[in-house]
Structure 1
């Protein structure tokens, strides 16, 4: 059971990393301070791919937190 939970936590953490990296930046970043291009950052709700990735981020983040708490309790570390 312990190794299954550790493996599941590992897979969820990798998926969380992929989903977060896959999202587009909502801020201009350092490139514009140095003289980068001008981007039109339209505020408001995210659409399309970013909306789906945002929802997956919440789901995987919650799963990761719950799995870490369960593993901590199961292994008597807190």
Structure 2
């Protein structure tokens, strides 16, 4: 059981890293240097299409990762 969960958490970790890396950037570097006020005042756009799928996959994989980590901690104690 422990080895199966360990394998699952490794697979989920790699998938989570891959999904986060392929997500497009939300802002540019110039915005970070100047304070990024436009991100606070009305320039928030909802993700659509492929970006929305990536956001949902990140949330789901993050939840699965946390559950697996808690199960592994419970089994190891």
Normalised-by-shorter TM-score class: 0.7 to 0.9
TM-score by length of 2: 0.80
Unpaired segments ≥5 residues, structure 1: 34-41
Between Structure 1 and Structure 2, how many residues are aligned? Answer: 68
Gaps of 5+ in 2: 34-42
Instruction: Give 1:43 deviation, angstroms.
Output: 3.0
Question: What is the CA–CA distance in structure 2 between the aligned matches of 1:2 and 1:66, rounded to whole Å?
Answer: 14
Whose relative contact order is higher, 1 or 2, with alpha carbons under 8 Å and at least 6 apart? Answer: 2
Which 4+ residue blocks in structure 1 deviate beyond 2 angstroms?
A: none
Give the root-mean-square deviation of aligned CA atoms: 1.8
